[in-house]
Amino acid sequence: MVDTQRDVPIKSALIEALVVMKIVKHCSSQFPTTATGSIVGMDSNGVLEITNAFPFPTIDVSTTDSHQNDASSLAAAAPRAKANIVYQNEMIKHLKEVNVDANNVGWYTSATMGNFINLSFVENQYHYQRENDKTVALVHDVSRSSQGALSLRAFKLSTEFMAAYKEAKFTTDSLQKSKLTFKDIVVEVPIVVHNSHLLTSFLHQIPASPDSAEIPLPASLDDIRRDPAKIPAHPSFDTLDLSIDPFLEKTCDLLLDSIEAHYTDLNNHQYYQRQLTREQFKITQWQTKRKAENAARVAAKQQPLPEDEWQRLFKLPQEPSRLEGMLNARQVEQYSKQVDGFTASITAKMFAVRGNLLPE
């Protein structure tokens, strides 16, 4: 039974509402610096139950702009730091003493505008997933959640990417053989937020809206005094605002930066191909010349020279890893999906007022 349960893949993640509040509070308090922490729980028939979470110790770095990137990079690498691993084990030990679920099931991190797919994220998740395949990474987008919609997603590395990352081979030949693309890097796990029975009972006790939309008219002034009419809420004109969402503008800027980084990586790979072609041409010339020399020496009844000296004389350039390019392409896809979601409402507004925008 135990072996059968281990083979069941993760179908969804069941997160307690208190855990969600802890993650949101920690990530919001550390914004714009990256916040990371550990999550604990248990796996039950393919459902990963996350019952508790605790943050990693805060790194004492100056909060000035010049040190913000240093603080973010140190915080992003916190899940695999030796000191934090010891801290995590101590916390799990204390949780066991109070009879709380103390099985590590992954970690969580904060993000800004969906920018989380990078090498640090992959290294952290690989650090957890190589020991236990039933672990996930929770990503909380603070900037997106600040608009009133909770943005919390769960990811794990795919089996194909885990095998490729273990071999540390991300060359063109290896990617062609394994047929690994940027879409196969991470797999999103559905999230279900679970409330306790006490909280559910409280929510059911909140007065609901009337079943009928028709309200009976008062028969006398006494009825009006006893039950005064409720003034409806002031209408909101925010939906009629034609200004472009600032999140859309920022996402487009980040998308352009990612595309520029993609072209930079592509230029580096093209430079490697030119260098490789140049060196191979030199090797071919040397081999042709050596064969001609050996033919002349054989005709003169002399000992031919070795033809494998080119391995010592010439050095082929090392192919750069394609991992950064794959991660960047996956991040471009993430930004593209966000832009697609933002433009749905804006396009409808522009279509509605297109008559006033066209010149007469």
Average pLDDT, the chain: 77
> CA–CA distance from 262 to each of 143, 255, 344, 346 (Å)?
24, 10, 26, 28
Q: How far apart are CA 49 and CA 203, in angstroms?
A: 22
Q: Does pLDDT of 117 surpass 50?
A: yes
Residues 6+ away with beta carbon under 8 Å from 77: 120, 123, 124
Cα–Cα dist 318/325, whole Å: 16
Of residues 319 and 62, the one with the higher pLDDT is 319
Q: Which residues pair with 48 in a beta bridge?
A: 13, 43
- The predicted pLDDT at position 265 comes to 82
Query: Is the pLDDT reported for residue 64 higher than 60?
Result: no
Q: What is the pLDDT of residue 345?
A: 67
Least confident stretch, 103-117, 277-291, 345-359? 345-359
Helix 119-129 crosses helix 323-352 at what angle (to 10 degrees)? 120
**Taking 70 as the threshold, does the pLDDT of residue 210 lie above it?**
no
In eight-state DSSP terms, residue 219 is: S
For residue 315, give the amino acid letter.
Answer: K
- Rounded-to-integer distance, Cα 173 and Cα 113, Å: 34
CA–CA gap between residue 20 and residue 1 (Å, rounded)? 31
Beta-bridge partners for 192: 14
Q: Where are the domains of the chain?
A: 2-197, 246-357
Length reported for the chain: 360
CATH class (in words) of the domain with range 2-197: alpha beta
User: With left for phi above 0 and alpha for psi between -120 and 50, is residue 113 left, alpha or beta?
Assistant: left
